[in-house]
Structure 1
Amino acid sequence: MSLEAERLINHVYQMDCLELMKQMPDETVSMILTDPPYGISYQNQFTNQRHLVLEGDSGIPYERFASESYRILRGNSHAYFFTRYDCYPYHYECLKQAGFSVKNCMVIEKGTIGGIGDLKGSFANNAEWIIFCQKGRRVFNRTTLLENKKKEGTQFHRGREPSKKYKTRFNACWFGEEYPKSTYNSMWQKKNQIYHPTIKNVECLSWLIQISSLPGELIFDGFMGTGSTALAALLTGRNYLGAEIDPGYFQIIGKRLQQQI
């Protein structure tokens, strides 16, 4: 049984993502922006505020998830899937087999440096990876997110258009002060009393949403966590739809949406 149209707009369901997707008609959403569990049972051991192991983080059937993602996404639309360096090859292949055209692996600076693993024999993890896909082809929107460093009207090469005031093509790696961080740091979590091991920065998600969708379109996140994607959608004039299986995080989503934090 499919969900009625009114139940697809601005709802987060406390349920398994794949169960929700199964009820969604083909080509329902205009953009996917999500951070699925990687099957690593993540838990930060180096903090006073210990996070619970994420629900479902023993792994999900990623092939099925990729296939369902392709089915519910409209043609000529964008999809962003957070991943990890060691999960990237498998996730890439699943998404490609589902029908997606994989365009880039984005790398975005985190708000805090990761503190797990071999602290003396491996590099600190200070970035998030995102697989950027298209179903069909959709060009990026013109935004006012980031100004070009060159003066407007500068002719870079003969035969090309003069530069615009704002960037129309972004780098695949977002580092430095001009870009938002992918996650919130521990100070933000403590200040707002919102704790999650991989909590995403609303500003960063809002940039991706503005680049890849239009106001009024529907953004899907099947692993809402604490609701950052829903907030980013609302703040940019879009609609949201998603799921969160954990009852504690589901309650936080309601609180954040109510208080807009």
Structure 2
Amino acid sequence: MGNDIPHVGFGVYRIPASRTAEAVRIALDAGYRHIDTAQVYGNEAEVGTAIRESGLPREDVFLTTKLNPQRHGYASTGQELDESLRRLQTSYVDLFLLHWPSPGRDRYLESWRACADLLAEGKVRAIGVSNLTVVDLAWLAERSDTVPDVNQVELHPGLQQAELRRYHDAHGIVTEAWGPLAEGESLTDPTLRALARKYETTPAQLILRWHVQLGNIPLPKSVKPARIRENIAVFDFRIDAEDMARIAALDGDPHGARSRTRGAGLPRWQ
């Protein structure tokens, strides 16, 4: 991938369109330079408005959107991207992801081929996938020479995806983490709360710092200005190796371990 991804992004999943522009403006003012949206979120236009009104040069903001999984197909992928670019008020996105595999529709590989062509056309600067398992990525690798730049998956201290991260590392795929705080559930974990006190941070900052040190790109979201600012203030401390190991031991812990993704392996795409 030719462009760098900022280490912490701002996600807008489940932020109502009526509140998105304000939240994104606050995030940009707080120092975020990575905004993650999707066609199915219904707030691309508001994201685009916030970026335009921020006064920041477009090249200073890393912008991601994702294809509606109901619109897989070669032609529809390009058409849907054009609609996203119109709503986002930009001529390109920095990262375009296939949003969920949507097995059984038999069009995933067509969309992936379209993504590679859109990359060559310059409408996207990098391409990737979301919510793919090791099995899924191996399936894709057997059928395409184009390696995803990114796989965006659910990942937090209770669901650490170690095998998948090893696969990513071996194949040069960046790991992005949605639900990096387990939708707030990880914030109640006693170990994480104790470590937050040790490092004089909040539990959220501790967890997001853990992501950064692992090499993940976390995508926290909030509409509360204080939380938005708090979630990016993670670069002035470092978790030591012993405490990183303590967090690693939480994998599968009931605090935030509930996965909202599919189980291991998918029905094969045809």
| Shorter-chain TM band | 0.3 to 0.5
User: Between Structure 1 and Structure 2, which shows a larger proportion of helix residues?
Assistant: 2
TM score, norm. by length of structure 1: 0.34
Q: Please report the TM-score for the alignment, with normalisation by the length of structure 2.
A: 0.34
